């Protein structure tokens, strides 16, 4: 008998009333956005994405809480060196059946409160967590990736990596954008 392939798809009909736990490890290539970012050179996702989640019924909806972990190859925003970063996120999502547009008025205004902002829709009997999981990974990526907190970056004058070598380009004093302030006299004159 074949072992079922790991998946982030869950049947709502077979979801036990008391809920269920799921743990899945999938290759990063399973996620379209991660695959796209890797092919475009933005980041490198070539490892495993581990997902642990708890799914529970909540009236007509399904609540999903859990966490995701993976690794990403990134470029430092200061020195441009490559490094491996651990990426992890916790999430709490709510899935609802997609409203039937044939029976509901299309011009009806829908008000969404803060608790419903994490709302995802599903069609039919199946919830696919793939989009939500990759979204959580992307939201966890740093806006300015740093190889280490004290990264000294590259010299703007000669381009030397100041983490690896000392810069001797001798940037002339008083040439920066605030050089004119050096001659400013702030003492009160009588």
Of 114-123, 146-155, 158-167, least confident by mean pLDDT is: 114-123
Domain ranges of the chain: 9-150, 152-190
* Predicted local confidence at residue 99, as pLDDT: 79
Cα distance between residue 97 and residue 123, in whole Å: 6
The residues pairing with 10 across neighbouring beta strands, listed in sequence order, are 127
The residues pairing with 41 across neighbouring beta strands, listed in sequence order, are none
Residue 114 binned pLDDT confidence (cut-offs 50, 70, 90): very low
* 3 state DSSP class of 36: helix
Residue position matching structure tokens 């069609």: 123
Residue 20 binned pLDDT confidence (cut-offs 50, 70, 90): very high
Q: Output the pTM of the full model.
A: 0.76
Cα distance between residue 151 and residue 148, in whole Å: 5
pLDDT tens per residue across span 48-79: 999 999 999 988 899 999 999 999 999 999 99
Q: Which helix (H) or strand (E) holds 139?
A: helix 130-140
Strands (E), the chain: 9-11, 20-27, 48-58, 61-75, 82-97, 119-122, 126-128
Cα dihedral 158, 159, 163, 164 sign: negative
């Amino acid at each position: 008998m074949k072992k079922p392939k790991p998946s982030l798809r869950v049947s709502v009909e077979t979801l036990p009333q008391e809920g269920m736990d799921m743990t899945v490890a999938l290759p990063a290539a399973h996620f379209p956005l991660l695959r796209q970012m890797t092919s475009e050179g933005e980041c490198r996702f070539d490892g495993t994405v581990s997902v642990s989640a708890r799914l529970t019924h909540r009236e007509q909806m399904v609540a999903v809480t859990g966490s995701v972990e993976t690794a990403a190859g990134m470029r430092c925003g200061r020195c441009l060196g490559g490094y491996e970063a651990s990426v992890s996120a916790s999430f709490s999502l709510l899935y609802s059946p997609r409203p039937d547009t044939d029976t509901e008025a299309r011009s009806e205004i829908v008000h969404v409160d803060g608790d419903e902002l994490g709302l995802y829709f599903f069609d039919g009997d199946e919830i696919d967590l793939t989009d939500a999981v990759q979204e959580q990974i992307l939201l966890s990526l740093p806006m300015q990736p740093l190889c280490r907190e004290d990264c000294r970056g590259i010299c703007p004058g000669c381009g030397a990596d100041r983490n690896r070598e000392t810069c001797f380009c001798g940037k002339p004093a008083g040439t920066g954008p605030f050089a004119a302030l050096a001659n400013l006299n702030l003492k009160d004159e009588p």
